[in-house]
Structure 1
Amino acid sequence: MSEPRFVVVGMGADGWDGLTPASRRELQDAEVIYGSRRQLDLLGSVTAALRPWGSPMSEHLATVLTESQPHPVHILASGDPMFHGVGASVVKAVGARNVRVFPAVSSVSHAAARLGWDLATTRICSVVDRPLSSILTNVSDNVQLLVLSRDEQTPEALAKLLTAHGFGWSHLTVLEQLGGPAERIYGGIARTWDHSAGDRLNLVAVQCVGPAVSAQAGLPDTDFSNDGQMTKQAIRALTVTALRPAARQMLWDVGAGAGSVAIEWLRTDPSCSAIAFESDSARRRRIEHNASELGVAHGLTVLESAPAQFGQAPDPDAIFIGGGVSAGGVLEGCWEALLEGGRIVVNAVTIESEALLISWHAAVGGTLRRFQIDHAEPLGSMTAWRPTLPVTQWIADKPAVTT
């Protein structure tokens, strides 16, 4: 391997003593080392120039990665640099061939060893660079969860969030400075949490106690704040299934209403992303609220009217049109933006929009289907079926262009 531009060395709370001989040699030969003040203070006998990160670190790191250096730049990381660490950020920015990584034991490995948890069956999430609510897509009864904290305030905030969402009887264990001389472990029940803020370097283990939560599409309509403009539960489940979400795919939800389809899409896989187009400002605020309450705000971008803002969004892998399909240029703009091999699903309830789908089906193919869901409701002292509006759905895959 040729000399890299950057060398990332993982280091735990035990500092110099916990480094492997190879990592120590690498740091002893370094010309310049970047790291947090805490990490730099843990170094042993090195001759390198020590440079603490400025605030915000992300901007300082971006500057360092673009500067020309005569020798490799060494960067300290907490634990395993490639596990929610700065190493992954460096590789993403400059490419793997320009980076050499020396890993250390990750904080989650330390935590699993202390708790006796099997990492293979433990869910792991980070709120270092995501909203705290993002953990909600991982909680469910009897789930073991490790949360990488942002700071010393995270444990208390997490306890309050879990309590507010029906998981107040969950047990939280805070693990601070794992592997180092200042290691500390303490815990309690979420709903009665009374610990003051501790060390900034911590993670939280959660033994979830509460409702069983499914990641499958079909959340109750009551889970979404809405003004009636929303794809209802049964139709939504059929729609998300038709979209066939997959890892790392992006969805456009056009005429998003309450954002229910985009939110269900995001809940299927943490790497999915979505853009919701909605012209009404009150609904845009409602979409953002719903996404936050259901733990997927980090994956959702909300834009204004379609098709005017199509040019501001990355081309999608999948598109759902639930409202405004008959507006000029919407369907044409969506089909043009859709990536080759991508899928479009359109729901229509009016005769005019249905006629448009029939026309597009004749032109480009795909599948047309029509369904109606009836619900049993009281009728006087008896019960009768109440029909909903029938929905016509067009599903089509955009063919790849062959040369």
Structure 2
Amino acid sequence: MTDTQRRFVVVGIGADGWAGLGTRAQNTLRDAAVIYGSARQLALLPQELGAQARAWTSPMSAHLTQVLDGDAGTGEVIHLLASGDPMFHGLGATVVHTVGAERVTVLPAPSSISLAAAKLGWDLSATAQPRVDVASLVTGEPDAVIPLLTDGARVLVLSRDGTSPAQIAELLCAGGFGESTLTVLGDLGGPDESTVTARAADWDLARTADLNITAIACVGPARSRAPGLPDEEFAHDGQLTKQTVRAVTVAALAPAEGQLLWDVGAGSGSIGIEWLRQTRTGRVVCFEADPARTERILANARAHGVADRLVPAGAIPAALADAPAPDRIFVGGGLDVQVLDRCWAAIAGGGRLVANAVTLQTEQLLVAAHADYGGTLTRLAIERAGVLGTMTAWRPALPVVQWVVDR
């Protein structure tokens, strides 16, 4: 870092304002020349501070980018106010990611999650039973809560505003979790702190305090993250990798945090959606030419709470050229020599490709690819018991040939 590079100090401030800041944070703000923050945050500071107070304009993200990219003066230090702990779903993480940790000093206050846990008596440690999970609706949609819901779970939700609790209650009821208890903690740590508690099924408040944490004590069905959801949990037009084969396929793709999957010929999107359910930070690009199927994929993704990490793309093979480089590729539909060659070329070292074939023609492609590139070939033959007259007999599904290969 050169001496002329602009530096930033991010100060976390709670609803208790100036009085809740530590001595170091107070002294830092007393010495500040310029302080950026929301109008609400700036109003918490004493008027006698000599700094120029500058409220964020809308959209804040554009204003922040302008400040971070601004011309630097020698030794210039810019102070930014953030809510609570700036490194927990906060402004500090964005600033550090943009300019680098060496140019940023972060002075945290207790996060709203810590305040909520203290209020509720909920253990935040990773080994706690039940474990407490956190979801953020600040920039996301209410369906982001869905993957965390299971009987006995505890979830703390960073609400976008005062309408979020009602949206969460509606979502819980729709998913069979209407008996869950909602506790909305408003303006935590401040003089206007409030608490509202009710069952999701009984929730009747259209709006609560805008600055709130919504705590969910889940009561409902036990939901597993294991791949192989029932077929009826996906809307489809027949283009669906069936439950058992889907479970084997997702396991073969070996989901890992931070990875990107190409779901080629996505159909209903079931493979990509099940992939996303296995991790918190995985991403998927779904390639599908049919607009109706694309809309269906997005609807399925919303229903399973993973739409924020799924991006629809166009028809193959043309759309493959503009897609970000994948860590994993699944080819289920549209399999031909050109698509297979494009996908093989796109996989970097350490990546994996999984392809499923049902017809003799596509099976021959995988046999030839196996001869050229190695990997493993597996033939999956599934039979289910079904009615035959007054008796029961095995009914075989079409066998699937699966090729799994590492680059």
TM-score, normalised with respect to structure 1: 0.97
Counterpart contact for 1:131–1:297, Cα < 8 Å: no
2:355 is equivalent to residue 346 of structure 1:
yes
Displacement of 1:320 in angstroms is 0.2
Displacement of 1:241 in angstroms is 0.3
2:293 is equivalent to residue 291 of structure 1:
no
The aligned amino acid for 2:59 is P
2:60 is equivalent to residue 57 of structure 1:
yes
Please state whether the residue corresponding to 2:40 is helix, strand or coil: helix
The aligned amino acid for 1:9 is V
C-alpha distance in 2, partners of 1:280/1:6? 48
Q: Flag structure 2 segments of 5+ consecutive residues without an equivalent.
A: 126-130
Counterpart contact for 1:127–1:149, Cα < 8 Å: yes
Q: Flag structure 1 segments of 5+ consecutive residues without an equivalent.
A: 399-403
Q: Partner of 1:116 in structure 2?
A: 121
C-alpha distance in 1, partners of 2:2/2:138? 33
The aligned amino acid for 1:254 is V
Q: Partner of 2:291 in structure 1?
A: 281
C-alpha distance in 1, partners of 2:61/2:263? 31
Which 10-residue stretch deviates more, 78-87 or 55-64?
55-64
Q: Partner of 2:97 in structure 1?
A: 92
Counterpart contact for 2:165–2:208, Cα < 8 Å: no
Displacement of 1:97 in angstroms is 1.2
Displacement of 1:2 in angstroms is 8.6
Counterpart contact for 1:372–1:390, Cα < 8 Å: yes
Q: Partner of 1:141 in structure 2?
A: 151
Displacement of 1:195 in angstroms is 2.1
The aligned amino acid for 2:393 is A
Displacement of 1:379 in angstroms is 1.0
Displacement of 1:187 in angstroms is 1.1
- Identify which of 98, 102, 113 aligns with 2:107: 102
Q: Partner of 1:315 in structure 2?
A: 325
Which 10-residue stretch deviates more, 225-234 or 90-99?
90-99
2:76 is equivalent to residue 67 of structure 1:
no
- Identify which of 19, 32, 35 aligns with 2:34: 32
C-alpha distance in 2, partners of 1:359/1:311? 24
C-alpha distance in 1, partners of 2:261/2:30? 48
Please state whether the residue corresponding to 2:370 is helix, strand or coil: helix
C-alpha distance in 2, partners of 1:313/1:28? 49
TM-score, normalised with respect to structure 2: 0.96
The aligned amino acid for 2:189 is G
Please state whether the residue corresponding to 2:315 is helix, strand or coil: coil
What CA RMSD, in Å, does the superposition of the two structures yield over aligned residues?
1.2
C-alpha distance in 2, partners of 1:40/1:308? 51
Please state whether the residue corresponding to 1:26 is helix, strand or coil: helix
Q: Partner of 1:390 in structure 2?
A: 399
C-alpha distance in 1, partners of 2:55/2:323? 37
Q: Partner of 2:128 in structure 1?
A: none
Displacement of 1:48 in angstroms is 0.8
Please state whether the residue corresponding to 1:239 is helix, strand or coil: helix
Displacement of 1:397 in angstroms is 0.4
Residue deviations 1:12-35 (CA, integer Å, cap 9, x gap): 100100011111111111111111
Please state whether the residue corresponding to 1:112 is helix, strand or coil: helix
The aligned amino acid for 2:118 is A
Q: How many residues align?
A: 397
Q: Partner of 2:9 in structure 1?
A: 7
Q: Partner of 1:268 in structure 2?
A: 278
The aligned amino acid for 2:92 is G
C-alpha distance in 2, partners of 1:379/1:311? 49
Q: Partner of 1:401 in structure 2?
A: none
Please state whether the residue corresponding to 2:318 is helix, strand or coil: coil
C-alpha distance in 2, partners of 1:270/1:92? 19
2:187 is equivalent to residue 185 of structure 1:
no
2:81 is equivalent to residue 76 of structure 1:
yes
Which 10-residue stretch deviates more, 14-23 or 58-67?
58-67
Counterpart contact for 2:151–2:218, Cα < 8 Å: yes
Q: Partner of 1:360 in structure 2?
A: 369
